[in-house]
Amino acid sequence: MTRFRSPAATASPFDVEAVRAQFPILATQAHGRPLVYLDNAASAQKPRAVVEAVSDYYLGKHANIHRGAYLLSQTATRLYEEARERVARFINAAEPAECLFTRGTTESINLVASSWGMQHLGPGDEIILSLLEHHSNIVPWQLVAERTGARIRVIPIDDAGDLQLDAYYQMLSPRTRLVAIGQVSNALGTINPVAEIIAAAHAIGALVLIDGAQWVAHGRTDVQALDADFYAFSGHKLYGPTGIGVLYGKRRLLDAMPPYQGGGDMIAHVSFTETTFAELPNKFEAGTPHIAGAVGLAAAIDWLDALGLEAVAAHEDALLREATTRLAEIPGLELKGTARDKAGVLSWVAVDPPISTLDMGTRLDLEGICVRTGHHCCEPLMDRLGVTSTARASFGVYNNRDDVERLAGALAEVFARARRRPGAERAAAIAETIAYPGAVAASPAAVAEEIRELFEVLPDWPMRYQQLIELGEGLPAMPEGLKTRANFVSGCQSQVYLAARVRPGTDDVIEFLADADADIVRGLIALLQRLFSGQRAADILAFDASAFFAELGLDQHLSLTRRNGLAAMAQRLRELAGLYRPDPDAP
C-alpha cells in the first residue's frame, strides 16, 4: 500500500507556518531553546480547534449521556453520537454502530482479544503477528493464547524492516484464526501492505485486526476498501485528546461477540436471573464514556480532514526524505529501518563513536528537541535489530524544514563532541587495576552539603547536566571482569553494573565501583559514589538519598526509568550497608 504520491498531491499547497500557528505549544521553549517536537509517534500535539471543542463542551454542554430526559443530556448525547458518525465517515465504516469508543488502541486490541479471542480460540488455533508489532499488539494475544491454548506465530522481517511476506503466506493454514498486524511500525516507520495481508488471510478463512495507531493521522483510511475485520486506533496520535480511541469491527462480528465489560449503559434489561445486553455500539461501552474525548476526537478529525490527508502525507514524506538524507550524512550514525515504503518515522543508533541513545536523547533535549529513545514498546523488534534501543524522530503535520535542520545540526554536534572524548581503549587500560574509591568527606551528609553548594552555583539544568557528565567522566574505571550478571542492576534503562564490597580490614565501610553505558547515568553514579563510597554502613543507612536527589531537582529532570535506576542503585547499596551495620545490641 502506498500513500499519496500523485503529482497533484505533492504539488498541493501546504502552508506549514499557518498550521504551526494553530499549536500554541510550538511557540514555547524547552531549556531556553525553541521547542522542536519530533515525538509525534508517541503522541501528537493538539491544535486550538481541538482544545476549544473540548472546553466548549465542558463549559456549556456537559451532562451524562443516554439517560437524561432533559435537554442538556440530549445535547451531550447528540454530540457523542455525532462524534461516532464523524469517525465512521473518517474511516469509511458502513455504519456508525461499527465504531466503538475505547480508551485507545491498547484497549481496542484488548477488547477483541478478550471478547472474540476467548469465544473463538482453542488449543491448536493460531494467531499470526509480526516482528514489527508494538507490545500492545503482542501481549493481549499472549494473554488470550495462554488461557485458550492457542499459539502465536510471528512474521519475520528483513534487514530493511520490511515484512517477509513469503513467510507469512506459508504460515497461513486452516489453523490460522486471526492475523493481527500494524499498518505502520511505530519504531521503524515501515508501511505494511495490509490490503494484501488481509486478502490472503481471508482466502483461508481467517480474520484480520489492523493496528492503525500509526497510520490514521498520516494517510486515508478506508476500512471497507481494506476489508479489515477489526481496526484499532487512538485519538491522541491523531491530534485529538488522550483517553479516547476507536475499535472498528464488522457488525456481524461485533453482534456475535460477548460484552467486554459489564456495567451501566451496555444492558437491555438486568435481573438477578437473567441480563440481556444492549445493541451495538452500547453493548461494548459499559459505564460513562469519555464524552469530551469523543467530541475532541471529532474536532481533530474535522481539522485534519480540512487540511487534506493527501497534502499532509506529501508534506511528511518530504520531511522524512530530507531528514533521512541529513542524518545519513553523519558519520557513525546508522539508520534503522529503510523499508521501501515508510511513514514519517526515523530511527537510528550511534555506532562510531558509540553513544547511548539515552545520551543522544538527553543532549537533544537540552537543545529543546524532543525525540524518543528506548525500545519503543517493541522489544522483539529491537532483539531482531541487535540493539536494545534506538533514538527516534517522528514527524507530524506541523513539523518543518527548520525542525529537520535543528535535529541534524544538534545530532552532528553530539557526535562531534563524543568523538573528542578519550577513547574506550584508554579507559579499558586504566581498568586493569581495581581502585575502589574512598570517602571524599566525613559522612554522606557532609558530602551532600558540598554537592548542594555545587548545584546551587549552577543556574540551570543544562549546566547541571554538564556538571553531572563531568563528574561521570571522572569515575574510576570498572574492570570488565566485574561486569557480571550478579552485578547488573535491573530497573535502569541503560546497562548498569555495580560492584560493592566491605573495605578489607574494616567491618562496615562500604565502597563500590559502578559503570553504565550512558553518560548521564555515569554522572548519577558519580554522585552516588561521592556520597557513599568509603562511608560507614550506619551513616549510609541514616542518609535519605531520595530526599536529597529530589532536593537537587533530579526527580523533575530525569525520566521515571532513570529515577528508578538511581533508586535501584541506591537501594542495592543500602541493602549491603544493612548487612554490615554493626548490631548495637551485640555484646
Q: Which of 99, 377, 378, 492 is catalytic?
A: 377
- Least distance from ligand PMP to the Cβ atom of residue 213, Å: 4
Rounded-to-integer distance, Cα 92 and Cα 51, Å: 25
CB contact burial 100-137 (16+ within 10 A = b; e otherwise) = bbbbbbbbbbbbbbbbbbeebbeeebbbbbbbbbbebb
**Binding flags for ligand PMP, 228-247, as an x/- string (CB under 6 A):** ------x-------------
Phi, then psi, of 342 in degrees rounded to 5: -130, 150
- Identified binder of ligand PMP from the candidate list 22, 110, 214, 493, rule CB under 6 A: 214
Pick the stretch among 103-111, 322-330, 403-411, 490-498 that binds ligand PMP (CB under 6 A).
103-111
Q: Dump the DSSP string for 367-385.
A: TTEE-EEE-TT-HHHHHHH
Q: Among 22, 40, 45, 105, which residue sits at the site for ligand PMP (rule: CB under 6 A)?
A: 105
The 108-147 site mask, x for binding ligand PMP (CB under 6 A), equals --------------------------x-xx----------
CB of 5 to ligand PMP, least distance (A): 23
Active site residue 377: yes
Contact between residue 168 and residue 129 where contact means Cβ atoms under 8 Å apart:
no
Number of residues that bind ligand PMP (CB under 6 A): 15
Among 115, 186, 373, 533, binds ligand PMP (CB under 6 A): 186
Task: For the CB of residue 197, give the shortest distance to ligand PMP in the complex, in Å.
Answer: 15
CA–CA gap between residue 299 and residue 304 (Å, rounded): 9
Closest CB to ligand PMP among residues 121, 184? 184
User: Would you give the DSSP letter of residue 190?
Assistant: B
For residues 54 and 408, which CB has a smaller minimum distance to ligand PMP in the complex?
Answer: 54
β-strand pairing of 36-37 with 369-370: parallel
- Shortest distance in whole angstroms from residue 376 CB to ligand PMP: 7
Nearest to 401 by CA among 326, 308, 310: 326
**Contacting residue, 40, 106, 390, 493, with ligand PMP by CB under 6 A:** 106
End-to-end CA distance of the chain: 79
350, 360 Cβ separation under 8 angstroms: yes
Amino acid found at 437: P
Q: How far is Cα 169 from Cα 191, in angstroms, rounded to an integer?
A: 18
x-or-dash pattern for ligand PMP, window 22-41, by CB under 6 A?
Answer: -------------------x
What distance in Å separates the CA atoms of residue 329 and residue 327, rounded to the nearest whole number? Answer: 5
Compare residues 137 and 362 and give the one whose CB is closer to ligand PMP. Answer: 137
Count CB atoms within 10 A of the CB of residue 58: 12
Binding test (CB under 6 A) with ligand PMP, winner from 39, 98, 125, 211: 211
Q: Which of residues 337-396 bind ligand PMP (CB under 6 A)?
A: 377
Name the grid cell of 336. 534503522
Q: Supply the minimum distance, in Å, between the C-beta of residue 580 and ligand PMP.
A: 45
Total Cβ atoms within 10 A of residue 477: 17
| DSSP category for residue 335 | E
Question: Interface with ligand PMP includes 182 (CB under 6 A)?
Answer: yes
Known catalytic residues? 377
Which residues bind to ligand PMP, rule: CB under 6 A?
41-42, 104-106, 134, 136-137, 182, 186, 211, 213-214, 234, 377
